[in-house]
Amino acid sequence: MIVIRSLVFLICAFILTFLMGIAAIPVRLVFKRSALAYARLWCRLLLRMLHVICGIDYRVVGYELLPKEGPFLIASQHQSAFDTLLWMTLLPAPAYVMKEELTKIPLVGPMLLLTGMMPVERSAGAKALRSLLKVTDQAVAAGRQIIIFPEGTRVPWGQKEPLKPGVAAMARHSGLPLFPVATDSGRFWGRAAFLKYPGTISVVVCPAVSGRDRAALLGDIEEAWSKGQERIASGL
């Protein structure tokens, strides 16, 4: 049954993405201000399909810690494609730090740029850091909520990956509050996994961390993630 449900979800997600990608052409050409709302609708529909077809739900603990509006940073664990969908539905003006190559995807790539996502060429070294801080300034000026995955890639649930320093540079440069977020999304929808297992994904927003040097800030994020995982393991 899980195999069948996963296959149906994959087919439905492809059809939805293709049709909405085609329908996005008028948005890109004429209704540009509606691009973010259109992208958020796509995410909501995917999450709804994930629930109806695969039996995957989610719960967010600590959401009340986040400011109601204005810019701030979220440093989230990244275990699943689910993590890239969630905050599009929960925040008023989300902007994700993402790989620049994603902007090359037909139909989807142009929409990512139009919605104000934050592409960075990760292999560009110091140039990439300057680019990251530049797009951070733009996002802050626009009042966006910035989501970054400091591990730099999807990491299987229960495993760890050294954090990239960009998140610390963004926090120190912008002075924004930074909220670590822990999750167990990889238990239900793993990295590049075809199978999706029914259940409830837990997402834990931790109290903000700030200041100090880069190593200390990265350590604070990891410590917050660990505490978040302990809450998930204890049933919250």
Beta bridge partners of 203: 60, 183
Whether the CB-CB separation of 232 and 182 falls below 8 Å is answered with yes
Does 164 score more than 70 pLDDT? yes
- Which of 40-49, 105-114, 150-159 is predicted with the least confidence, judged by mean pLDDT? 105-114
Query: Which pLDDT value is given to residue 121?
Result: 76
Q: Calculate the average pLDDT of the chain.
A: 90
- The pLDDT tens digits for 27-36 are 888 888 889 9
Q: How confident is the model at residue 9 (pLDDT cuts 50, 70, 90)?
A: very high
Whether the CB-CB separation of 146 and 167 falls below 8 Å is answered with no
- As a whole number of angstroms, the distance between CA 36 and CA 161 comes to 31
Does 86 score more than 90 pLDDT? yes
Whether the CB-CB separation of 136 and 147 falls below 8 Å is answered with no
The residue ranges of DSSP E strands in 80-195, in sequence order, are 94-99, 118-120, 145-148, 178-183
**Mean pLDDT along residues 75-87:** 95
Does 45 score more than 90 pLDDT? yes
**Mean pLDDT along residues 119-129:** 73
The pTM of the full predicted model, rounded to 2 decimals, is 0.90
Number of H helices, E strands in the chain: 7, 7
- Cα angle: 202, vertex 205, 207; to 5 degrees: 150
**Mean pLDDT along residues 212-229:** 91
| Greater model confidence, 117 or 29 | 117
Does 211 score more than 70 pLDDT? no
Does 197 score more than 90 pLDDT? yes
**Mean pLDDT along residues 36-48:** 94
